[in-house]
Structure 1
């Protein structure tokens, strides 16, 4: 499928039966409970939860809000696939991996453009470059942007997954393993990565903002089709939180510091220097980023044989739904 066709499919929302969904929604009773995640890698979700703006928006309908902590993209996507939550936060490439492997999600909103991952070593490590990782133990959380970042980074140095010893650990455990000398390197994730830098002197040996895929707010496809009004309310609330963060970055960092139990300097590094909250509208920019990143999923056999990644991208990125809600907070 040609790139132009992919962009056209994404723009048209080809796989979402929007009108039937709207018709069904009109006849439905108010939603009893809305289930969504919050995550330390998504400061917007923390602000939204702290101020109770979703609870406020849904109170007239009698809808209760259930918040579930996601420790990483892999957890958020697992919860969505298991129908444990309706809306969850993940990295874009992680969402594509999940969609290609059968997780029925769509991404109608971008919660940030972060540089949230890099390859990290201890301050006294002899490792200076990607080439030095050959044969070394590297911690990374499977199914997340840091893991996929690691694979893409290795490829730039002519290395593959088999050239390192991958140690599968959740993000916080990866930091601990690095600092304790149990692994040689770690594909980090903020705020844990920022904390390791500022508190343990850990070094970032490879950074590439282009390999950090966007923060996708994913919705179960069935929920988006059958409950568009509710998803719209969530996006409006996210827009309120996004506007507040842009106007109050230091205060947002304080909330992150308290929620993630990290120091204020660590939170400021993540919010002010490594997060861009300026463009929440899914667009061809995000489609193109996934098209560039997608080959690593095939090269490393992370997707099912015969998976159509071009179609998966078109099915995932919803460039139309959020447009009426952007900037309306």
Structure 2
């Protein structure tokens, strides 16, 4: 009888211990899905150095990485629930995502880097100024920061999108079109800009300086932001510190991520030099600027429906 009681107590202890360990095991298996693109400089650095994995490990969270061609498909993935956290995307991209019904939370921003995007033509092109773009075919990625750049650049010289022929292309296809001469100009951003400067002789017709600030935002699905604010806190802390490190060590940063981007270190260092890499919390006044972007694209018939940008949320550390 005593033996049976002892066995029963042992079984009960084992079951109790298993129950106690189960939540920890579950937490250890939890995954945050982070999307990024080639221009997600700081996220690429954090990924390569392994700092973000180390920051999330104490929270029992692992990372599943996913690369996208640009910010628009990245936030589309957030919208449909296949990505939890988005690395930095241009300021225009959240507006298009909201128009598609995405429930977004702004996590952080990278302060303006206007010279990290540009409108370029081939060196031997007869196009020498913005007014020469009238009637020309221009490659641009729909919804990207350069979409706003070309819009405002043309408006500044009395032209509109109706005066040009926009070819909506993702960067790889845009480059192919540009190099074979099937488009007259290309509105692009780093690192694609730096890569093109390395391999082709091009002239810059305009960059963002004095036209559009080109801020970049980190975002999360609101459902995930509500569920794991601790993960967002760790993400923000690591990305902010990574920005400080990269600004102080641009060559080392370029050496790290050049293989991931698929180019050489000097090209990446050139791109890094045009970025602020200054990561900060987002303030409420961001919605006013985002609303201007939304209203601009709506008036041009580019945005499919009106957007109230303040319907998105702001994350704030507890």
1:10 corresponds in structure 2 to: none
Q: How does 1:155-304 map to 2 (within 5 A)?
A: 155-209=155-209, 210-272=211-273, 274-283=274-283, 286-304=286-304
Q: Is 1:175–1:188's contact at 8 Å kept on the other side of the alignment? A: no
Task: Quote the Cα distance in structure 1 between the aligned partners of 2:208 and 2:157.
Answer: 13
Task: Quote the Cα distance in structure 2 between the aligned partners of 1:291 and 1:58.
Answer: 34
Q: Is 2:96–2:143's contact at 8 Å kept on the other side of the alignment? A: yes
Q: Is 1:120–1:204's contact at 8 Å kept on the other side of the alignment? A: yes
Q: Over residues 257-303 of structure 1, what are the superposed CA-to-partner deviations in whole Å (9 max), with x where a residue is unaligned?
A: 2221222222121112x100234221356445434434321221233
Task: Quote the Cα distance in structure 2 between the aligned partners of 1:32 and 1:240.
Answer: 24
Task: Quote the Cα distance in structure 2 between the aligned partners of 1:317 and 1:178.
Answer: 38
1:91 corresponds in structure 2 to: 90
Residue 32 of structure 1, CA deviation: 1.1
Task: Quote the Cα distance in structure 2 between the aligned partners of 1:217 and 1:70.
Answer: 15
Task: Quote the Cα distance in structure 2 between the aligned partners of 1:202 and 1:178.
Answer: 11
Task: Quote the Cα distance in structure 2 between the aligned partners of 1:211 and 1:315.
Answer: 23
The 4+ residue runs of structure 1 with deviation greater than 3 A are: 284-289, 291-295
> Structure 1: any 5+ residue segments left out of the alignment?
1-28, 325-329
3-state SS of paired residue (1:275): coil
1:82 corresponds in structure 2 to: 80
> Structure 2: any 5+ residue segments left out of the alignment?
1-25
Q: Is 1:123–1:202's contact at 8 Å kept on the other side of the alignment? A: yes
Task: Quote the Cα distance in structure 2 between the aligned partners of 1:263 and 1:317.
Answer: 38
Q: TM-score when scaled to structure 1?
A: 0.81
1:8 corresponds in structure 2 to: none
1:315 corresponds in structure 2 to: 311
Residue 181 of structure 1, CA deviation: 0.9
Summarize the Cα distance change of 1:112–1:87 in structure 2 as closer, same or farther, 3 Å threshold. farther
Task: Quote the Cα distance in structure 2 between the aligned partners of 1:284 and 1:275.
Answer: 23
1:142 corresponds in structure 2 to: 142
2:42 pairs with 1:44: yes
Q: Is 1:54–1:234's contact at 8 Å kept on the other side of the alignment? A: yes
Q: Over residues 151-186 of structure 1, what are the superposed CA-to-partner deviations in whole Å (9 max), with x where a residue is unaligned?
A: 222222222223222212111321232122121011
Task: Quote the Cα distance in structure 2 between the aligned partners of 1:315 and 1:295.
Answer: 15
1:33 corresponds in structure 2 to: 31
2:17 corresponds in structure 1 to: none
Which structure has more RCO (C-alpha within 8 Å, separation ≥ 6)?
A: 1
Single out whichever of 187-196 and 51-60 deviates more from structure 2: 51-60
Q: Is 1:33–1:65's contact at 8 Å kept on the other side of the alignment? A: yes
Mark the structure with the bigger radius of gyration: 2
Structure with a larger share of its residues in strand: 2
